[in-house]
């Protein structure tokens, strides 16, 4: 597979930050997301027990060829300006032939939070 990938985000607190992910398989073809669910988690650190864990918005459209993700102002209200966070966008799917779910990390990176932009011309 051609993922995971890394993308660092500079986020202005109070804004809506949207992005799309178009995963590809190892042959460069679109990865079929049919039957998968998506999660977008923002945390203070990587590992089993982050101090803060915020769920961003992540959904798979009906074409099952991409993911739409967003940091919403309501979610970001829990983030502190001047701080850095880590995030992961993952997909998961139950497989009847396996005793465990399939989980893939598509995108990971850091989020730097800045105070809201006011008075811009």
Structural domains of the chain sorted by starting position, each given as residue range(s) with its CATH number in brackets = 5-114 (2.60.40.10)
Residue 120 reports pLDDT greater than 90 = no
For the stretch 47-63, pLDDT in tens is: 776 667 788 999 999 99
Q: What is the pTM of this model?
A: 0.86
For the stretch 21-77, pLDDT in tens is: 999 888 888 999 999 999 999 998 887 766 677 889 999 999 999 999 999 999 888
DSSP E strands in 1-121: the ranges are 5-6, 9-12, 17-21, 37-43, 53-55, 57-59, 67-71, 84-93, 102-114
pLDDT band at 2 (very low <50, low <70, confident <90, very high): low
> Is residue 4 reached through a cis peptide bond, with omega within 30 degrees of 0 on the bond before it?
yes
pLDDT band at 19 (very low <50, low <70, confident <90, very high): very high
24 Cα distance to chain centroid: 16
């Amino acid at each position: 597979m051609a993922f995971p990938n890394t993308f660092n985000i500079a986020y202005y607190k109070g804004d809506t930050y949207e992005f799309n992910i178009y995963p590809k398989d190892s042959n460069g073809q679109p990865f079929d997301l049919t039957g998968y669910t998506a999660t977008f988690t923002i945390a203070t650190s990587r590992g089993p027990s982050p101090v803060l864990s915020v769920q961003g918005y992540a959904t798979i459209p009906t074409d099952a060829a991409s993911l739409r993700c967003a940091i919403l102002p309501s979610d970001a209200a829990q983030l502190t300006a001047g701080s850095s966070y880590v995030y992961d966008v993952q997909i998961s799917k139950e497989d009847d032939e396996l005793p465990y779910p399939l989980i893939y990390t598509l995108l990971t990176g850091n989020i730097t939070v800045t105070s809201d932009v006011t008075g811009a011309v």
